[in-house]
Structures are given as structure tokens and as C-alpha cells.
């Protein structure tokens, strides 16, 4: 198990996973969010290249329009 922080919450992941798979497994459409990994914004085309490791911090921001 690895310990990571997702949107300020401590989480335990059973296996190392990349950001794209984490989003998919949590029913999050990567098109509708911005992802920050360890204080750096991640380009959509790179989310599959980033493997979550012990102590990583992931922020997932969803933008909502309204009026």
C-alpha cells in the first residue's frame, strides 16, 4: 500500500497507479478537470505518464460554470 494525499484527504492505494488510471477508477473524466501533482499542473497528455508514489499530493479541480 502507498499513502498519498488526494484533495487534502489522506488515502491509501493498494497498488502504484498512474494518474489517468486513478481518475478512471474513480469515475472522473480527465477532460472535465485540471490535475495538480505535487504542486505542478499536469497537461492532459501526460497524466498516464505520472505514477503515484508514497507521499505524493494530488489535487483534482473541477470547473463548474454558472450564471
Residue ranges of the domains in the chain? 2-62
pLDDT the model gives residue 16: 87
Phi/psi class of residue 11: alpha, beta or left (left: φ > 0; alpha: ψ in -120 to 50)? beta
pLDDT the model gives residue 67: 67
pLDDT the model gives residue 66: 78
Residue pLDDT, tens place only, 11-64:
999 888 999 999 999 999 999 899 999 999 999 999 999 999 999 999 999 887
Tell me the CATH number of domain 2-62, given options 3.40.50.10540, 3.10.20.30, 1.20.120.80, 1.10.600.10: 3.10.20.30
d(C-alpha 34, C-alpha 12), whole Å: 22
Contact 52, 58 (CB under 8 A): yes
pLDDT the model gives residue 32: 87
**Whether pTM exceeds 0.75:** yes
Amino acid at each position: 500500500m502507498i499513502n498519498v494525499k488526494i484533495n487534502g484527504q489522506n488515502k491509501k492505494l493498494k497498488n502504484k497507479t498512474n494518474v489517468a488510471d486513478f481518475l478512471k477508477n474513480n469515475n472522473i473524466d480527465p477532460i472535465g478537470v485540471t490535475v495538480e501533482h505535487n504542486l505542478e499542473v499536469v497537461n492532459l497528455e501526460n497524466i498516464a505518464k505520472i505514477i503515484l508514489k508514497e507521499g505524493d499530493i494530488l489535487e483534482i479541480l473541477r470547473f463548474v460554470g454558472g450564471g
